[in-house]
Amino acid sequence: MNTIVEPGLVADLPIPSYTPAGNETQIFELAWQNRLPLLLKGPTGCGKTRFVAHMAARLGLPLLTVACHDDLTAADLVGRHLISGEGTIWSDGPLTRAVRLGGICYLDEVVEARKDTTVVLHPLADDRRVLPIDRTGELLAAPPSFMLVVSYNPGYQNLLKGMKPSTRQRFVSLSFDFPAPEREIEIVQGETGLDGARCAQLVKLAGALRALKDRDLEEAASTRLLIYAATLMQSGLAAEDACRVAIVESLSDEPATIAALMDVVRAVFG
């Protein structure tokens, strides 16, 4: 699924809220000013996508987001010929559109895409800053405002889905992690309006569940899931039910694991 913000709408959209953990907003701006591609590393749901949306709006740039998956090919990014009533026409993919618009192309979880996508990214991610479109014979030069941003979750890699060093070393890299407890409480409360005491309980629960990662859980409880639970609680759902549907059921399908996680929920909210 692609998220596309057209350039004419950028000025009319509010800047998505984002609370910096350090100097990442400065690094992003400097990378953009110096035409450097950016790699964001961190666990699922820690704020990488929100950060990119925040920076695109802050800089007034169109943003095209691609959620990468196993079947995503280079043609999906660059474009392809389509048959219409008027004959065969060329249709730009999101990467090509971002280059033409001089905006930001954000490839979320880039290692999930097929390996041929790497070949497309390399000329854009080094000093050439060009996009070869083999099917049309066009060599598209990226304008100064264009920026390539990719992300992945290092903790979820395997030998078949790692990022090659030849690709990784073309990027400036930023590491993300879950916020410190005090900051995470502020984020959850700011996003949902839930009272501080219950936000603190949710963050405490997240800490307990994150301690189980790599032992009983494949993924940690993300800030995104805390916001989902807080939203339901703010709307009147009981804390235990909100935590079950928004957090626990999203972390596991195993009945025994779910039961154990719910024991943790009850210990925090009991």
Domain end among 137, 160, 175: 175
At 29 the three-state DSSP class reads: helix
Domain end among 175, 210, 244: 175
Q: Hey, how many other C-beta atoms are within 10 angstroms of the C-beta on 75?
A: 15
Shared domain for 35 and 146, answered yes or no, is yes
Residue 143: left (phi > 0), alpha (psi -120 to 50), or beta? beta
Which range of residues forms the domain containing residue 25?
Answer: 2-175
Helices then strands, counting H and E runs in the chain, come out as 12, 10
- The tens-digit pLDDT sequence of the chain (270 residues) is 345 444 433 444 568 888 888 999 999 999 999 999 999 999 888 999 999 999 999 999 999 999 998 888 889 999 998 887 778 888 899 999 999 999 999 999 998 888 778 888 999 999 999 999 988 889 999 999 999 999 988 866 544 467 788 888 999 999 999 999 999 999 999 999 999 999 999 999 999 999 886 666 778 899 999 999 999 999 999 999 999 999 999 999 999 999 999 999 999 998
Domain end among 137, 152, 175: 175
- Of the CA atoms within 13 Å of residue 159, those in its CB half-sphere come to 0
Q: Are strands 172-175 and 63-67 parallel, antiparallel or unpaired?
A: unpaired
Shared domain for 28 and 110, answered yes or no, is yes
Provide the domain count of the chain.
2
